[in-house]
Amino acid sequence: MVEITRSKRSLPLPTEAELEILNILWTTGPNTVREVHTALSGKQTGYTTVLKQMQVMAGKGLLIRSERFRSHVYEVRLPKEQMQKMLARNLLQRAFDGSTKNLVLGALSSQKVSSAELAEIRSMLDAFEKGSR
C-alpha cells in the first residue's frame, strides 16, 4: 500500500466525477481501473479517462494505489461517512453561512421525506441532544 502523509483535514473535496468513482469503491471495495470502468459503463466514459481520473485522485490523496498485484488496485482513503462529513461541513459554510438549522431545513424541503424517515431523524436528534450535554 502506498503511504500517504497528507492529513485527512487537508484532503481536497472531490468533484462530481470523483464522487462517482468513490461511490463505486465504497460499495465494492478496492478495485482495478478496469473494474471501475466497467461499473461506469453506462456513463460512456473511456477507459483512459477513468485511469487518468483515478491517478489524479491518488495524487490528491483521495485514493490509495496498491502495487502488490499485477494490476494496480485502488481503494478509498476515507470511509464514506468521513467524506460526507467533510462535504456537509463545506456546504454548511459555503451555502448556509454556518447555519445548521438552515442546512437541515433546506435538505428537508428539497424533496419528499417519508414519515418513517422523519421519525428516524427525530430519534437521531434526540440521541444527539442527549449526547452533547
Whether residues 70 and 104 fall in one domain:
no
Residue 43, pLDDT score: 80
Q: Is residue 1 part of a domain?
A: no
Residue 3 falls inside a structural domain: no
Point out the domain boundary residue: 35, 59, 78: 78
2 lies in a domain? no
113 and 65 co-located in one domain: no
Determine the structural domain holding residue 71 and report its residue range. 8-78
| Residues 103, 69 share a domain | no
Q: pLDDT per position in the chain (133 positions), as tens?
A: 334 344 555 789 999 999 999 999 999 999 999 999 999 987 888 999 999 999 999 999 999 999 876 788 999 999 999 999 999 999 999 999 999 999 999 999 999 999 999 999 999 999 999 986 5
Residue 24 lies inside a defined structural domain of this protein = yes
Are 36 and 69 in a shared domain? yes
CATH number at residue 61: 1.10.10.10
Q: How many domains does the chain have?
A: 2
For residue 29, give the C-alpha cell: 471495495
Entry pTM: 0.79
Asked if 114 and 85 sit in the same domain, the reply is yes
Question: Rounded to whole angstroms, how far apart are CA atoms 22 and 80?
Answer: 8
b/e per residue, 104-119, with b = 16+ CB within 10 A? Answer: eeeeeeeeeeeeeeee
- Asked if residue 57 and residue 40 are part of one domain, the reply reads yes
51 and 93 co-located in one domain: no
Q: Same structural domain for residues 20 and 46? A: yes
Say if residues 30 and 75 touch (Cβ distance below 8 Å): yes
CB 83 within 8 A of CB 94: no
